[in-house]
Amino acid sequence: MLTLRCPCCGVLADETELAPGGTAHLRREGPEASDEAFEAYMFLRDNPRGVHFERWRHAFGCGKWFHAARCTVTNEVFGTYPAQTAAPPEEVLEAIRRRRPEWER
Amino acid sequence: MPEYPLEGRRFDGLVRLESAEPRGMIALRGTPEELSSALEESVGLAWPATGEAAWTGEVGALWMAPDELLLLVPQGQAQDLVERLGRSLADRHHLVADVSDMRTLLRMSGSGCRDVLAKVTPADVSPAGLSIGRVRRSRVGQVAAAIWLRDGETAEIACFRSVAHYVFDLLADAAHPEARVDYWTPQGADAQA
């Protein structure tokens, strides 16, 4: 069972209190984008075996969205952080590098 | 006159379950920076810390989210407070609404409160995780609920009124006299010692 600490309310939330929101840090292609760029945004997602950045919503708790860095193989959680950011914070990247030295973004 | 779905329902088992007396409930949304002075003037309560409740008598401010409080007031006083808050917040971005009929309050009393809660919610209901003064929004069975303790042996549970009977029945099942766990009761503490 996955448990994530919600950075908005500080609660250690059980997976069943959370709603998954898919991959984090996607850049949506705007109306001027080429078909290829929009296709890449819409359909061509990474499906990593290992470190993954994801969006979650504390649906049964404070209701806020947040981000989590998780290993898709072991379910190890490297950290959670507020959603008001375009990239993972340095301390989360640091935690990942400590546990997965070979990992590259 | 609104109806109270659990009016008159009571269950005695490992804990006593009953409808808490109806209270006025107000949703207050906005940032603490902008709203806390108006809250202090109108209600006499400081903005509660993250995940906590502030009380003065029967008036409470429960922390629901970083930008949301649920105010509990004696029945019949909600509309008046909504108007007063609305006036003092007129020039600030906020939401204040009388939601008294949105949720139902249950009261659970007895030394088995934590044991019964632990059967139906993934929330940490240990004395450290759910201390007196904390408000925990979580899941009870299949529905959302907020849980807080008024004292060591009294818990209050707020859930949407449409699922009030479901929550009551679920807790009554968990509090069946033959479903004793005795983990966090005084007897349980003795056994663990």
Residue B2 has pLDDT above 70, yes or no: no
Q: Of B44, B66, B65, which is closest to residue B55 (Cα–Cα)? A: B44
Residue B1 has pLDDT above 70, yes or no: no
Identity of the residue in A16, A17, A64 whose CB atom sits nearest the CB atom of B66:
A64
Residue of chain B with shortest Cα separation from A62: B65
Query: Tens of pLDDT along A65-84?
Result: 999 999 999 999 999 999 99
Cα-Cα-Cα-Cα torsion A66, A71, A76, A81, nearest 10 degrees, comes to -20
Residue B193 has pLDDT above 80, yes or no: no
Residue B41 has pLDDT above 90, yes or no: yes
Residue A28 has pLDDT above 80, yes or no: yes
What is the complex's ipTM, to 2 decimals? Answer: 0.90
Gap from B118 CA to chain A (nearest CA, Å)? 13
Gap from B67 CA to chain A (nearest CA, Å)? 9
| Domains of chain A in sequence order | 18-25+47-105 (3.30.2270.10)
Query: Tens of pLDDT along B92-143?
Result: 999 999 999 999 999 999 999 999 999 999 999 999 999 999 999 999 999 9
- For residue B190, the model assigns a pLDDT of 79
Q: Do A63 and B139 touch (CB under 8 A)?
A: no
Q: Which two tokens stand for residue B75?
A: 């029945």
Residue of chain A with shortest Cα separation from B51: A9
Gap from B1 CA to chain A (nearest CA, Å)? 30
Mean pLDDT of B167-186: 95
Gap from B103 CA to chain A (nearest CA, Å)? 15
Q: Do A11 and B51 touch (CB under 8 A)?
A: yes
Q: Does A73 touch chain B (CB under 8 A)?
A: no
- For residue A1, the model assigns a pLDDT of 84
Q: Of B77, B97, B78, B103, which is closest to residue B19 (Cα–Cα)? A: B103
Q: Do B51 and A10 touch (CB under 8 A)?
A: yes
Identity of the residue in B124, B137, B139 whose CB atom sits nearest the CB atom of A62:
B137
Residue of chain A with shortest Cα separation from B143: A60
Query: Which residues of A fall within a CB distance of 8 Å from B136?
Result: 11
| Domains of chain B in sequence order | 15-21+102-185 (3.30.1360.120), 23-98 (3.30.70.1520)
DSSP per residue over A43-72, as a string? Answer: T-----SSEEEEEEE-TTTT--EEEEEEET
Mean pLDDT for all residues in chain B? 94
Q: Of B15, B21, B38, which is closest to residue B155 (Cα–Cα)? A: B15
Q: Are B161 and B99 in contact (CB under 8 A)?
A: no
Mean pLDDT of B153-174: 97
Q: Do A62 and B144 touch (CB under 8 A)?
A: no
Residue A87 has pLDDT above 90, yes or no: yes
Q: Does B50 touch chain A (CB under 8 A)?
A: yes
